[in-house]
């Protein structure tokens, strides 16, 4: 431990103790638990389970794309169902739920020095509603007609018509119901995350002393609370269109020679509502990743984060800006040229705060004491992947470039790089980083390094070639690409190569899952603070943290979260709850 | 999408005002070991539950702003035929105002510690809110009997959708009000009692405000108002 100078210890003012709910039985302790840490594990496990389904779906798609015509059971309808469910699950049920429900629940109370979330009962409900949403989603696989195949954007009118799988069956209804449930459940959780950061902070934990992880999750949650209602409205209205025959989104339309009863609705209205949610959603996933990666880099490079204030301001700026860029997803839907100009400009402006963040990560690494631990490897991989995906975003933000590329594999490559692979790499890094706190044991190092290299290189080999396919004009969303003049021999080979890489990367995830389960019992004992980190979650009296997190007394915070390698201090890190002036002080440490 | 953008500007204004009081320009790396110097920057003195409800109301406001945005966009299309609003809605509005007033009385009574008045206020508010819901259902019935069905015109669809959504929120509020009433009759701790009555009142006033906005929207005054504004601007 570092030296403690009692002279600096400021007597704490009273911190109001919260009334903690104390579980009495196994059921209320582990199943219907109100403890944020248990809820976090529940969220993570559910999200991982449904994410595995999406992973298998991506394999099935790659089977079809890489080896067209070989697998009879993958009909065009089935392909569309795979594509839809893969996208929807990955974006909403995996990434959003894991970052906010999983990491948010675990880290916010611990990092701000609270005993639990401020509304634990609502927090518990949040998980169970989320689980219901997942179960409704899964049930659509077994419904007559199968799940919806409308694409993850669910654009009307096709989403609720006969030609689309699930359009006139149960698929779309279950999908919309599941989304509505998810949004209700998320709102319950989101209220907790926001208000806990506002009101649950322990003494001395000012906003500018919060770890960037908390800033990222906090801002993302605020955005999600304001953006998800748009999806909610869109879902309710489409559900009415489908079930009760209203015409919110459905224009007058002739289907198979028959005039449908719909009249005059506006599909563009749906697109506005959807993307008003859909674009902030990108940052809802990205901002927690930004925050977490900042902490990983700082901790494992043993150096304070470069430009903390800029990092905070950039997070806020990105959050605010992301609400005025949504229509860049709709360039091909047609719009007034001035609107296109406006949305292209706002889109490009977001690159400024984002670039600030990237520079700050790199400058944090500069002359740091870099430990190439597995979390650090994943953090570095994130920077590389994110820069790649971000740069292609600059291409696609421009109307003239977007219009020809919009329906090609280039877009698939772009969004997988920037909001698929990059955040997932952070999730992996974060799991390797915090697993010792959650379980008390380290994940296996060898398996971890294998997992990292295969995942990082493999994901790059999957998505980087896709840019070239896109530039060749290979369209996305096509179930069968054989008889087209643009599908050259080399494009076919590339597609097969991508598919094989996808299986290899998928296999590496199985190794990771094995590691997760195996290490619970057989991993090396971690101790309370294996990474020698400063933030409060590593300073708990027990590991894993017990109910109530901090034992008898809540910690008092005396410093920011990034006091690494402070000159004059005995150790190369000073936890946030250690009083005393080091380095720049008048008194000797 | 103008309504929701205006709403978000208001939310951003609040957020900006709050953030401006949080020393965002501080240099945390220079501020070691001074936990005592940050009085007022830890947490708000407001009860946590009130802040939670405030955040939730922002979400609800966002939801109804989005409905309004969709309403205006859909209204611009050619097949829009506004439906005549039933007179009953005026009565319902009055009943809902009464409900809000009753809850406000309960708040005043709770602050003074007059439990009888609190119970009276809660009961009146609950009953009038129920009456409002029944009134809304009767308005729905009246419209369907007159042939204004859900799917026959987008104006009708929006009418049922938005009033229905508002009704669901009132229904949810009634659950909260029910819990507060149970506490009032079973004699919960006074400070806790006061807080939960205040929360109910906050929610009720907000839903009253939402209802007035919806009423203006459905009656077409909102559109006229925006029209006038636009003419003034151009």
Statement: residue B37 has pLDDT above 70:
no
- Residue of chain B with shortest Cα separation from A272: B1
* Over residues A301-327, mean pLDDT: 94
Helix (H) or strand (E) holding B158: helix B154-186
Statement: residue B40 has pLDDT above 80:
no
User: Any CB–CB contact under 8 A between A31 and chain B?
Assistant: no
A180: left (phi over 0), alpha (psi -120 to 50) or beta: alpha
Helix (H) or strand (E) holding A82: helix A76-88
Statement: residue A487 has pLDDT above 90:
no
Counting runs of H as helices and runs of E as strands, what totals does chain A give? 16, 2
- Residue of chain A with shortest Cα separation from B151: A246
Yes or no, beta carbons of B73 and A246 under 8 Å apart = no
Chain A residues touching B20 at Cβ < 8 A:
none
- Residue of chain A with shortest Cα separation from B41: A206
Query: Nearest by CB to B33, which of A247, A312, A559?
Result: A559
Yes or no, beta carbons of B52 and A265 under 8 Å apart = no
- Residue of chain B with shortest Cα separation from A556: B35
What does the pLDDT read at residue B33? 66
- Taking CA atoms, A92 is separated from A51, A278, A477, in Å, by 10, 10, 20
Please identify among residues 74-113 of chain B the ones whose CB lies closer than 8 Å to any CB of chain A: 74, 77-80
pLDDT 10s digits, A502-554 = 999 999 999 999 999 999 999 999 989 999 999 999 999 998 999 889 988 88
Neighbour-count burial of A66, counting CB atoms closer than 10 A to its CB (0-12 exposed, 13-18 middle, 19+ buried): buried
* Over residues A478-488, mean pLDDT: 82
B43 versus A17: the higher-pLDDT residue is B43
Q: How far apart are CA A368 and CA A365, in angstroms?
A: 5
Shortest Cα distance, chain A CAs vs residue B149, angstroms: 10
A428 versus B47: the higher-pLDDT residue is A428
Statement: residue A588 has pLDDT above 80:
no
Shortest Cα distance, chain B CAs vs residue A240, angstroms: 9
Q: What is the pTM of this model?
A: 0.94
- Residue of chain A with shortest Cα separation from B36: A10
- Of A150, A51, A61, nearest to A466 (Cα)? A61
pLDDT category, A224, cuts 50, 70, 90? very high
CB atoms within 10 A of CB B141: 12
What does the pLDDT read at residue A18? 61
pLDDT category, A147, cuts 50, 70, 90? very high
Burial profile A21-47: b = 16 or more Cβ within 10 angstroms, e = fewer: eebeeeebeeeebbbbbbbbbbbbebb
Asked if the peptide bond before residue A361 counts as cis, ω within 30 degrees of 0, the response is: no
What does the pLDDT read at residue A4? 41
What does the pLDDT read at residue B231? 87
pLDDT 10s digits, B152-197 = 888 999 999 999 999 999 999 999 999 999 988 887 788 888 999 9
Please identify among residues 178-217 of chain B the ones whose CB lies closer than 8 Å to any CB of chain A: none
Backbone angles phi, psi at A331, to 5 degrees: -55, -40
Yes or no, beta carbons of A579 and B78 under 8 Å apart = no
Please identify among residues 519-558 of chain A the ones whose CB lies closer than 8 Å to any CB of chain B: 556-558
pLDDT category, A142, cuts 50, 70, 90? very high
Chain A residues touching B77 at Cβ < 8 A:
264-266
The first and second tokens of residue A564, run together, are 């690494």
- Of A281, A293, A139, nearest to A215 (Cα)? A293
User: Any CB–CB contact under 8 A between B23 and chain A?
Assistant: yes
In degrees to the nearest 10, what's the CA dihedral of A328, A320, A271, A101? Answer: 120
Residue with tokens 């990205």: A286
Statement: residue A317 has pLDDT above 60:
yes
Chain A residues touching B67 at Cβ < 8 A:
233
- Taking CA atoms, A247 is separated from A250, A251, B141, B151, B154, in Å, by 5, 7, 21, 7, 6
3-state secondary structure at position A254: strand
Yes or no, beta carbons of B27 and A232 under 8 Å apart = no
What does the pLDDT read at residue B45? 76
What does the pLDDT read at residue A14? 47
pLDDT category, A16, cuts 50, 70, 90? low
Yes or no, beta carbons of A276 and B4 under 8 Å apart = yes
* Over residues A60-89, mean pLDDT: 93
Instruction: Among A226, A305, A568, pick the best mutation site for testing chain B contact (most B Cβ within 10 A).
Output: A226
- For residues A169 and A143, the answer to whether their CB atoms sit within 8 Å is yes
What does the pLDDT read at residue A1? 39
Yes or no, beta carbons of B157 and A240 under 8 Å apart = yes
Describe the crossing of helices A105-112 and A36-66 by its angle, rounded to 10 degrees: 140
pLDDT averaged over every residue in chain A: 91
pLDDT 10s digits, A335-369 = 888 999 999 999 999 999 999 999 999 999 999 99
Yes or no, beta carbons of B62 and A320 under 8 Å apart = no
Count of alpha carbons within 13 angstroms of residue A464, beta-carbon side: 12
* Over residues A547-576, mean pLDDT: 89
pLDDT averaged over every residue in chain B: 89
Q: Which residues on neighbouring strands pair with residue A254, listed in sequence order?
A: A259
Shortest Cα distance, chain B CAs vs residue A248, angstroms: 7
**One-letter-per-residue 3-state SS of A303-341:** CCCCCHHHHHHHHHHHHHHHHHCHHHHCHHHCCCHHHHH
Statement: residue A382 has pLDDT above 70:
yes
Statement: residue A112 has pLDDT above 80:
yes
What does the pLDDT read at residue B41? 58
- For residues A349 and A321, the answer to whether their CB atoms sit within 8 Å is yes
Q: How many residues in chain A?
A: 589
- For residues A296 and A535, the answer to whether their CB atoms sit within 8 Å is no
The percent of residues in chain A predicted with pLDDT above 90, rounded, is 77
Statement: residue A587 has pLDDT above 70:
no
Yes or no, beta carbons of A187 and B59 under 8 Å apart = yes
Q: How far apart are CA A261 and CA A141, in angstroms?
A: 29
pLDDT category, A583, cuts 50, 70, 90? low
pLDDT category, A6, cuts 50, 70, 90? very low
Look at A143-157, A262-276, B178-192, B205-219 and tell me which has the smallest mean pLDDT. Answer: B178-192
- For residues A152 and A174, the answer to whether their CB atoms sit within 8 Å is no
Statement: residue A140 has pLDDT above 70:
yes
Chain A residues touching B63 at Cβ < 8 A:
229, 232-233
Neighbour-count burial of A225, counting CB atoms closer than 10 A to its CB (0-12 exposed, 13-18 middle, 19+ buried): buried
Q: How many CB pairs under 8 A join A and B?
A: 170
What does the pLDDT read at residue A589? 39
What does the pLDDT read at residue A8? 43
What does the pLDDT read at residue B113? 86
Q: Beta strands A254-255 and A258-259: pairing type?
A: antiparallel
* Over residues A290-294, mean pLDDT: 97
What does the pLDDT read at residue A393? 92
Chain B residues touching A118 at Cβ < 8 A:
48, 52
Statement: residue B99 has pLDDT above 90:
yes
Shortest Cα distance, chain B CAs vs residue A563, angstroms: 8
What distance separates the 2 farthest-apart alpha carbons in chain A? 87
Query: Nearest by CB to B63, which of A229, A245, A248?
Result: A229
Statement: residue A253 has pLDDT above 60:
yes
Instruction: Among A186, A192, A223, A247, pick the best mutation site for testing chain B contact (most B Cβ within 10 A).
Output: A247
pLDDT 10s digits, B108-161 = 999 998 888 999 999 999 999 999 999 999 999 999 999 898 888 889 999 999
- Residue of chain B with shortest Cα separation from A264: B79
Contacts of A197 (CB under 8 A, 6+ apart): A108, A112, A210, A214, A218
- Of A531, A529, A463, nearest to A494 (Cα)? A463
Q: How far apart are CA A532 and CA B32, in angstroms?
A: 19
User: Any CB–CB contact under 8 A between A337 and chain B?
Assistant: no
Question: For residue A308, what is the DSSP state?
Answer: H
In degrees to the nearest 10, what's the CA dihedral of B15, B21, B26, B29? Answer: -80
Instruction: Please report the domains of chain B, with CATH numbers, ordered by start residue.
Output: 2-26+45-233 (1.20.120.80)
What does the pLDDT read at residue A586? 45
Chain A residues touching B70 at Cβ < 8 A:
233, 237, 248, 269, 273
* Over residues A185-200, mean pLDDT: 95
What does the pLDDT read at residue B44? 74
User: Any CB–CB contact under 8 A between A320 and chain B?
Assistant: yes
pLDDT category, B80, cuts 50, 70, 90? confident
Query: Nearest by CB to B29, which of A191, A264, A308?
Result: A308
Query: Nearest by CB to A308, which of B5, B28, B34?
Result: B28
What does the pLDDT read at residue A443? 96
């Amino acid at each position: 431990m570092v030296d403690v100078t009692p002279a600096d210890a400021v007597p704490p003012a009273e911190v109001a103790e919260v009334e903690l709910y104390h579980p009495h039985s196994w059921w209320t302790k582990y199943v219907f638990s109100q403890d944020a840490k248990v809820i976090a594990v529940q969220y993570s496990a559910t999200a991982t389970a449904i994410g595995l389904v999406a992973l298998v779906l991506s394999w099935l798609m790659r089977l079809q794309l890489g080896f067209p015509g070989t697998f009879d059971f993958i009909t065009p309808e089935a392909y569309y169902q795979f594509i839809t469910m893969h996208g929807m699950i990955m974006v909403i049920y995996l990434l959003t739920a894991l970052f906010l429900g999983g990491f948010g629940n675990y880290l916010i109370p611990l990092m701000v020095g609270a005993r639990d979330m401020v509304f634990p009962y609502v927090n518990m409900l949040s998980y169970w509603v989320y689980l219901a949403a997942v179960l409704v989603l899964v049930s659509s696989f077994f419904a007559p007609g199968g799940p919806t195949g409308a694409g993850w954007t669910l654009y009307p009118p096709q989403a609720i018509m006969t030609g689309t799988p699930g359009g006139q069956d149960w698929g779309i209804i279950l999908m919309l119901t599941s989304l509505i449930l998810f949004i209700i459940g998320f709102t319950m959780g989101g209220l907790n995350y926001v208000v806990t950061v506002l009101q649950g902070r322990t003494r001395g934990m000012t906003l500018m002393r919060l770890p960037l992880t908390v800033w990222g999750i906090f801002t993302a949650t605020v955005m999600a609370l304001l953006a998800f209602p748009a999806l909610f409205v869109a879902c309710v209205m489409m559900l009415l269109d489908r079930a009760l025959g209203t015409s919110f989104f459905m224009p007058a339309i002739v289907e198979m020679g028959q005039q449908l009863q719909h009249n005059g609705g506006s599909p563009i209205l749906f697109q506005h509502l959807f993307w008003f949610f859909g674009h902030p959603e990108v940052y809802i996933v990205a901002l927690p990743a930004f925050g977490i990666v900042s902490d990983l880099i700082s901790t494992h490079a043993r150096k304070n984060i470069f430009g903390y204030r800029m990092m905070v301001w950039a997070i806020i700026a990105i959050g605010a800006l992301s609400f005025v860029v949504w229509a860049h997803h709709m360039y091909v839907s047609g719009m007034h040229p001035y609107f296109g100009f406006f949305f292209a400009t706002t889109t490009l402006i977001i690159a400024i705060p984002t670039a600030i963040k990237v520079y700050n990560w790199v400058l944090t690494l500069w002359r740091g004491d870099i430990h190439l631990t597995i979390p650090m490897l994943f953090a570095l991989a994130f920077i590389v992947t994110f820069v790649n995906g971000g740069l292609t975003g600059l291409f696609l933000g421009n109307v003239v470039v977007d219009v020809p590329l919009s329906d090609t594999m280039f877009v698939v490559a772009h969004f997988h790089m920037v909001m698929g692979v990059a955040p997932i790499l952070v999730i992996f890094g974060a799991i390797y980083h915090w697993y010792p706190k959650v379980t008390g044991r380290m994940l296996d190092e060898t398996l971890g390094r294998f997992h990292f290299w295969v995942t990082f290189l493999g994901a790059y080999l999957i998505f980087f070639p896709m840019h070239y396919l896109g530039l060749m004009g290979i369209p996305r969303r096509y179930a069968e690409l054989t008889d087209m003049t643009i599908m050259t021999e080399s494009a076919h080979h590339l597609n097969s190569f991508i598919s094989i890489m996808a299986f290899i990367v998928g296999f590496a995830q199985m190794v990771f899952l094995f590691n997760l389960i195996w290490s619970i019992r057989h991993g090396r004992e971690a101790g309370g603070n294996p990474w020698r980190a400063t933030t409060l979650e590593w300073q708990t009296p027990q590991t894993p943290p017990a109910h109530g997190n901090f034992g008898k007394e809540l910690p008092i915070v005396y410093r920011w979260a990034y006091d690494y390698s402070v000159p004059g201090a005995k150790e190369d890190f000073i936890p946030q709850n250690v009083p005393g002036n080091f380095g720049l002080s008048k008194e000797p440490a | 999408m103008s309504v929701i953008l205006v709403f978000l500007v208001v939310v951003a204004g609040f957020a900006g005002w709050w953030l401006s009081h949080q020393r965002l320009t501080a240099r945390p790396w220079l501020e070691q070991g001074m936990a005592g110097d940050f009085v007022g920057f830890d947490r708000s003195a407001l009860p946590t539950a009130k802040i939670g409800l405030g955040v939730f109301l922002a979400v609800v406001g966002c939801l109804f702003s989005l409905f309004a945005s969709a309403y205006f966009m859909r209204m611009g299309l050619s097949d829009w035929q506004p439906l005549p609003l039933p007179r009953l809605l005026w009565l319902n509005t009055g009943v809902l105002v009464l409900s809000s007033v009753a809850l406000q009385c309960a708040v005043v009574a709770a602050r003074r510690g007059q439990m009888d008045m609190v119970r009276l206020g809660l009961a009146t508010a609950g009953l009038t809110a129920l009456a409002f819901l029944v009134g809304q259902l009767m308005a729905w019935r009246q419209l369907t009997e007159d042939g204004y069905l859900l799917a026959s015109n987008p104006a009708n669809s929006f009418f049922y959708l938005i009033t229905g959504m508002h009704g669901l929120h009132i229904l949810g509020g009634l659950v909260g009000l029910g819990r507060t009433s149970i506490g009032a009759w079973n004699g919960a701790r006074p400070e806790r009692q006061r807080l939960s009555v205040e929360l109910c009142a906050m929610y009720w006033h907000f839903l009253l405000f939402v209802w007035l906005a919806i009423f203006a929207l459905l009656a077409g005054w909102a559109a006229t108002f925006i029209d006038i504004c636009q003419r003034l601007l151009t």
